[in-house]
Amino acid sequence: MTALVLLDHEEGRIRKSALSAVTAASQLGDVHVLVAGDVAVARAAAAIPGVAKVLHAADAQYAHELAEPLAALIVSLAGGYDQIVAAASAVGKNVLPRAAALLDVQPIPEVVSIVDAETFVRPIYAGNALATVRSSDAKKVLTVRGSAFDAAPAEGGSAPIETVVPATNPNVSEFVAVHLSDSERPELESARVVVSGGRGLQSEEKFHVLEPLADKLGAAIGASRAAVDSGFVPNEFQVGQTGKIVAPELYLAFGISGAIQHLAGMKDSRVIVAVNKDPEAPIFQVADYGIVGDLFEIVPALTEALN
Amino acid sequence: MSESVRESMEFDVVIVGGGPAGLAAAIRLRQLSPETSVCLIEKGSEIGAHIVSGAVIEPRALAELLPDWQDRGAPLNTPVTSEEMLYLTETRSLRVPMLDRLMPHMANHGNYIVSLGEVCRWLATQAEELGVEIYPGFAGAEVLIENNRVVGVATGDMGITKDGAEGPNYQPGMELRGRYTLFAEGCRGSLTKQVMEHYDLRKGVDPQTYGLGIKEVWEIPAENHRPGLVQHSFGWPLDDNTYGGAWLYHFGENLVSYGFVVGLDYPNTWLSPFDEMQRLKLHPAFRKHLEGGRRVSYGARALSEGGLQAIPRLTFPGGALIGDSAGFLNMPKIKGTHTAMKSGMLAADAVVEAMQTDRVEPGSYTQRVKDSWLWEELRTARNVRPAFAHFGMKGGAVYAALDAMLLRGRAPWTLHFKHQDNETLKAANLCEKPNYPKPDGTLTFDRLSSVFLSATNHEEDQPVHLRLRNPSLWKTVNWDVFRAPEARYCPAGVYEVVDEATAPALQINAQNCVHCKTCDIKDPTQNIDWTVPEGGGGPNYPAGM
Amino acid sequence: MKIVVPVKRVVDYNIKPRVKADGSGVETTGVKMSMNPFDEIAVEEAVRLKEKGVASEVVVVSIGVQQAQDTLRTAMAMGADRAILVLSEESPEPLAVAKVLKAINEKEQPGLFILGKQAIDDDMNATGQMLAGLLGWGQGTFAGKVEVADGRVKVSREIDGGTEDVSLALPAVVTADLRLNEPRYASLPNIMKARKKPTETLKAEDLGVDMTRRLTVVSVAEPQQRQAGVKVGSVGELVEKLRNEAKVI
């Protein structure tokens, strides 16, 4: 069996989540990858160990990974593959369902675990449940969640690169512009690191103690509902069941007791650090690393230690 | 502020509240008079969303309202098959013998264990089929009174921001005008409170006394499930001065309803009904039912316990009070659904009569109640609950047994309630602190994880709906004298003392509120005013509650 | 221009979903159901386009059980003009939904479909893309801003790390992301008026669509509870562990 992986990239580099998609696909069989865009990316793809072949589509219509031409290209190539795979990135989520429809296949989005060639595990209800589903489609189309699979190594392979013929462009869409966020503070929901404060921050003024640390980590700032209710920060900072649901690589909780509403909003973070003066605080039940102590001493010390 | 812009709509009858009383009244109205336009509003996001009850219900009123209820698929699926009344000490339980003689009001033969929320959802579909217009998600916020006649209610404005300004999503409330308005808000209704005051409806009756019921639904392993089992208890963990007890019912698909009621006339300011409820689960008599299961929902609601002596005048120009808004719960029976429904049906009869004879007040409602089994039932039960207030738990139980066996409820005297529930608390330094165990996360839980299971939510950007009439009283009375009893009686963690050691202050987490109304009742100076938040807010109780 | 907005009835976003004890799915009986929040945003956007004079009519469609009528009523109370209810099983798959919507397109000939980017129950995030594929139209997914002018629609899309603007030929498909707008309340007078707006009821099979599921649910489970980690004694130790053990900084 052979899988075709759409390898999406940004500014000439293969996205890390796409490398995870390669790992997922390799659990299913041989892996071919499709690179639409720059030849440098195709060369990088050829170096990924485990990739048997790189399909390179260089035509200008693929430059911005627009869904309409890219889905058409995938469909034109799909005949030889048992699975079409991509990362559940903005590109993968945009392109693959369209391609699936054209192939008359029901896609399987956000796969976190592969049971066998027919059977996949995916979160539903915002991660509150995990569904194991079996597909009866002859061809499987799936996107995989990057955090669930290790990224394939970037070096060590030497796959052949084959240039593919462009498919007919449906010509219904045009790229206009891209605006990458230049704000120093990333968006709470998409930040890699979140620094969050609770009632333990004591006041609106003292809440600012988190900012130098967030700057250092390139982190977004979040807050518990208690901190929002106490007026330390506006509501849009709230992480939790009634606020924003976040799942960063690193979540640092300062002075947050860990009410279940809050936990519901951040429990899927990869690594959780908790600092609280109460050793019994429920947040420690979910934290990978905890420090019992005064956050007003620990936060500046941590900021300093990161220098 | 917005009166000039709000729209209005005319109906024959407007009903406030979609519980058993309001829905039964609505159904009865359309049965008797299919041309009558009936509009029912409900502050919960859907019918059933704010319903909490045990519940073992007596199908008597339902059978009168919809004789073919079984064919219509009413969700009364678990008949009571066995029942026990336990007197508990800390480690042991004694089964009360001859239950049907000593506590005949507790006999549940022919009754059903239900989720009252599901029953209400079903009643709502019956009402809609009959042409009742039901609008959940809209709270009655204002009583419309013109020329001393209630002419309807207005729903609350939506989209008012925290500081009281009109936000970007502002929608003015709407006037629902009715020739007659029925208040079916349940215990301690916020509009009922205004109507009672305006028409002085409580003049000459005993003060209402209340209880707080806290409930959990558990799903247990099938092999331990005994559908139809009813277990009640009294005694531990409450002391002799505190009225209350627990229930545990096996019903539905491997579900167990567990709950605890504490009389809100309790004196100990340190008492926490929530923690009493949690620790009772550790008693062998309860633990054995719940172990190996998982808790699936949580809720709380105050109930009226005063019975006959505390029932106010029932009608006023333009409307009537029905169900637990009037206090029709039968406490010794711990049932209020059949009485609520019956009162709604009788009020509907009276309203139809008043409409036909063009009377302003549906006055025949009162006589209809007095001529019905509802009154007879409350009359024979009338001395039981006050006996507990007079003689304590053990004395009250003995009185209740004598009342049942010898007097059969026909005592020539009537015991009265002397105090309002807010007057009974003792100062903190005069009370003993109970020693509550820490939640274990398996059988017992903390408040916040419990509130989470009520799925309560309120739009964040709205004014706090729990208002202190005089904010300075909190420090001098609630804190200095009673050490913030609201932090303990509130089952939802709404009231929190911050900076306890340095400068104690009250933090009101209004978003957590599950609309139980206990704070409106128990605050020592009645300084807390429970007003209705934006419609659709509050708990979202699932099936099972 | 006519706009069609498909809306889905889902477990209300305030309800914590409970996995059934037998692992066959998530409990939905007796649970509060509401309109999918992303669909509310889609309805709001369509109604705003009508209020601006860009659209002439907003038609809402729901595919599912009879009770989806309530969801359609809510949409009409928000300002949609009429509704189509396509009866089928509860929560059909995106592929089948996209095929039904394609059939609706033949009937209604809209200039724009606006959908929610995903439903909060199955989190598929696929129907809009699939519909666009089946119709051969352009797709503006994860829209944060929508402007219609000169026979085209310009969509500002939320992508990883920023936004991307695309211009699509009309007719097109747009899927709404969270920041597109803040939906209005369905006011009580409008809910009352919505009862009088027309709803057409169809059956999926009448539209010639095969609704057979391609994915069967083998089991549904609750995710594993997170385990408590370790307490560290100092900031230095924490930094060391984050660097070398967790490798997150």
Q: Look up the CATH number of the domain holding residue A11.
A: 3.40.50.620
- 3-class SS of residue C10: strand
Q: What is the DSSP letter of A232?
A: S
* Selected residue of A118, A172, A176, A291 to mutate for chain C interface (largest C Cβ count, 10 A): A172
Q: Does B511 touch chain A (CB under 8 A)?
A: yes
Q: Are residues B358 and B230 in the same domain?
A: no
Is B392 domain-assigned? no
Query: Pairing mode, if any, of strands C215-221 and A129-135?
Result: antiparallel
Q: Say whether pLDDT at B532 is over 80.
A: yes
Q: Which parts of chain C sit beneath pLDDT 50?
A: none
Token pair for B57:
């219900």
Nearest to C105 by CA among C177, C9, C209, C199: C209
Residue A182 pLDDT grade (very low, low, confident, very high; cuts 50, 70, 90): low
pLDDT in tens, B197-230: 999 999 999 999 999 999 999 999 999 999 999 9
Is residue B18 located within the same domain as residue B156?
Answer: yes
Least confident span in B97-106, B243-252, C193-202, C236-245: B97-106
**CA nearest B454 in A: which residue?**
A261
Residue C226 contacts B where some CB pair is shorter than 8 Å: no
Q: Is residue A279 in a domain?
A: yes
CB of A225 within 8 Å of a chain B CB? The answer is: yes
Average pLDDT of every residue of chain A: 93
A157 and A263 belong to one structural domain: no
Flag whether A262 is marked binding: yes
Assess whether pLDDT exceeds 80 at residue B15: yes
Q: Domain of B141: which CATH number? A: 3.50.50.60
* Predicted local distance difference test score (pLDDT) of residue B400: 86
- Please enumerate, as own/partner, the contacts of B282-288 that have beta carbons within 8 Å and a separation of 24 or more: B282/B437, B282/B443, B282/B444, B283/B88, B283/B90, B283/B91, B283/B93, B283/B236, B283/B237, B284/B91, B284/B93, B285/B86, B285/B88, B285/B93, B285/B231, B285/B233, B286/B233, B286/B246, B286/B248, B286/B258, B287/B443
In B242-382, at which residue ranges do the beta strands (DSSP E only) sit?
244-251, 255-263, 294-304, 315-316, 319-321
Chain A hits for C127, Cβ within 8 Å: 97
Q: Tell me if the bond preceding B55 is cis, omega within 30° of 0.
A: yes
Q: Is A239 labelled as part of a ligand binding site? A: yes
C111: distance to nearest CA of chain A, Å? 14
Flag whether A183 is in a domain.
no
Is A261 within 8 Å of B448 when comparing Cβ atoms?
A: yes
CA angle C180, C185, C188 (to 5 degrees): 160
**pLDDT level of residue B3 (50, 70, 90 thresholds):** very low
Stretch among B73-87, B175-189, B287-301, C214-228 having the lowest mean pLDDT: C214-228
Whether B418 is covered by a domain: the verdict is no
Q: What is the CATH number of the domain that holds B506?
A: 3.30.70.20
Q: At what angle do helices A210-217 and A295-305 cross, to 10 degrees?
A: 30
- pLDDT for position C44: 98
A157 and A12 in one domain? yes
Tally of structural domains, chain A: 2
Residue A307's pLDDT band, with cuts at 50, 70 and 90, is: confident
User: Residues A283-305: what's their mean pLDDT?
Assistant: 95
Say whether both A104 and A219 belong to one domain: no
**Pair A35, A106 in one domain:** yes
Please report, for the domain that includes residue C179, its CATH number. 3.40.50.620
Q: Of B331, B215, B316, B325, which Cα lies nearest the Cα of B273? A: B215
Query: Which positions in chain B touch C32 (Cβ < 8 Å)?
Result: 45-46, 49, 455, 540, 542
Q: Is B187 a catalytic residue?
A: no
Residues A136 and A68 in one domain: yes
Residue A74, in any domain of the structure: yes
Domain that holds residue B105: 78-113+208-305
Residues B181 and B300 in one domain: no
Distance from CA of A286 to the nearest CA of C (A): 5
Mean pLDDT across B489-518? 93
Same structural domain for residues A109 and A199?
no
The predicted model gives B367-385 an average pLDDT of: 95
Q: Does the distance separating the beta carbons of B155 and C189 come in below 8 Å?
A: no
Task: Let me know if residue A48 belongs to a domain.
Answer: yes
Claim to verify: residue A149 and residue A224 sit in the same structural domain: no
Task: For residues B47 and B148, state if they share a domain.
Answer: yes
- Angle at which helix B373-381 crosses helix B337-357, to 10 degrees, equals 140
B39 is catalytic: no
Q: Residues near C183 by Cβ (< 8 Å), separated by ≥ 6? A: C40, C41, C43, C44, C78
Whether B251 and B274 map to the same domain: the answer is yes
Same domain assignment for residues B184 and B281: no
Which residues constitute the domain of residue C196? 2-245
Mean pLDDT, rounded, of chain B: 94
Overall number of domains in chain C: 1
Dist. CA B231–CA B290, nearest whole Å = 13
Any chains having at least 3 CB pairs less than 8 A from chain C are A, B
Measured between beta carbons, which residues in chain C are less than 8 angstroms from residue B168?
182
In angstroms, rounded to a whole number, what is the distance separating the alpha carbons of residues A147 and A151? 9
How far does Cα B65 stand from its chain's mean position?
22
The answer to whether residues B55 and B134 belong to one domain is: yes
Residues A231 and A96 in one domain: no
Contacts of A259 in chain B (CB under 8 A): 448-449, 452
Among A131, A267, A306, select the one facing C226 at the smallest CB separation.
A267
Number of separate domains in chain B: 3
- Annotated ligand binding at A221? The verdict is no
| Domain contains B405 | no
Domain co-membership, B225 together with B273: yes
Q: Which domain holds residue A145?
A: 2-163
| pLDDT of B4 over the 60 cut | no
Q: How do residues A91-147 score in pLDDT, each as one tens digit?
A: 999 999 999 999 999 999 999 999 999 999 999 998 889 999 999 999 999 999 988
- Are C192 and B9 an interchain contact pair (Cβ–Cβ within 8 Å)? yes
Pairing relationship of beta strands B315-316 and B229-235 according to DSSP bridges: unpaired
Instruction: Establish if A176 belongs to a structural domain.
Output: no
| Shared-domain flag, residues A151 and A207 | no
The 10s digit of each residue's pLDDT in B111-153 is 999 999 999 999 999 999 999 999 999 999 999 999 999 999 9
CB contact, 8 Å: B507 with chain A? yes
Together in a domain, A138 and A218: no
- Give the residue from B5, B174, B225 with the most C CB atoms within 10 Å of its CB, the best one to mutate: B174
Which tops the pLDDT comparison, C165 or B452? C165
pLDDT of B2 higher than 60: no
Q: Is residue B189 part of a domain?
A: yes
- Residue A124 is labelled as binding a ligand: no
CA distance B138 to C136: 44
**Which residues of chain C are within 8 Å of residue B118 when distances are taken between CB atoms?**
30
Please list every residue in chain C whose beta carbon sits closer than 8 Å to the beta carbon of residue A126: 120, 123
User: Are B284 and B226 members of one domain?
Assistant: yes
